[in-house]
Amino acid sequence: MRASRSISARALGPEGVREIARSLPEEVAVAVTCNGSTQAVMMCSPADLTDFARGFAVTEGYARHDQIERIELVELAQGIEARLWIAQEAADALGARRRMMLGPVGCGLCGIDSLEQAMRDLPRLDCTLQLDWAEATAAVEALRAHQPLHDLTHAVHAAGFLVPGRGIICAREDVGRHNALDKLIGALMQAGIDPASGAIVMTSRVSVELVQKAVVAGCPVLLAVSAPTAQALRLAEDAGLSVAGFARGGRIEIFTHPERILGGNVDVA
């Protein structure tokens, strides 16, 4: 399935009426299954779905990367199944977790159905990574060069991985910001790249689920073009995650654990 499609439209303006063609992103239902049992259904861009399935399984706590034995993508009339085969130990733990669920899925966070799971405890990051201020401020703009689907459609988010001294070495796109991050994390794991060796760069705001996924992956820095939510910052502070937002125009605002971003000569507003 292609990631975008050309759609006809009618443009109205001061110059009159004209018929146009606009490239728009595709969106497909992706069912994530583990050992034959459906765990969640997400709306995704139909690209890099193996990376998505791997990253989603890890960041949602279904299995560790080394417990994922095989991933198979199956196109169906209604969407795509991302079938994961995981180690029996992980499958047993996941089955026990599902048996504890009481009532229907309702909160909308990746198939989570309880407040306890939505606001899950996070590990504490202990990482000495440090970024140069200039590299951090330029990271979001540098990510622009890795967004072909956005250039075509202007309707998707991107997540990139910044390594000090090397720039953006990997990026993924999706209609959902959290999907883009899962795809990136999955790609890093498949390539054997340690998330602790760099920073995640997002083209979106920083929400609770992005903080959770970054911390579970073990990445110590999250940079974004827009603002974080207050609750996301509370989680980030407790987990030891450095969060910076409003990275644009040569400026950046660091909200938690600023010791990882060094230098800079920005005038105080």
Active site residues: 107
* Closest C-alpha to 195, from 122, 127, 256, 250: 127
Among 208, 199, 204, 202, smallest CA distance to 235 is for 208
Count of beta carbons in the 10 Å neighbourhood of residue 1: 12
Helix 49-59 × helix 177-191 angle, to 10°: 90
Angle of helix 208-217 relative to helix 230-239, nearest 10 degrees, comes to 20
Q: Which of helix, strand or coil describes residue 254?
A: strand
Backbone angles phi, psi at 173, to 5 degrees: -125, 155
- What is the spatial distance between Cα 173 and Cα 158, in angstroms, rounded to a whole number? 4
Estimate the share of the chain in helix, then strand, then coil, as percent rounded to the nearest 5. 35, 35, 30
226, 246 Cβ separation under 8 angstroms: yes
Of 244, 207, 241, 247, nearest in space to 225 by CA: 247
Q: Which of 178, 129, 181, 133 is nearest to 160 (CA)?
A: 181
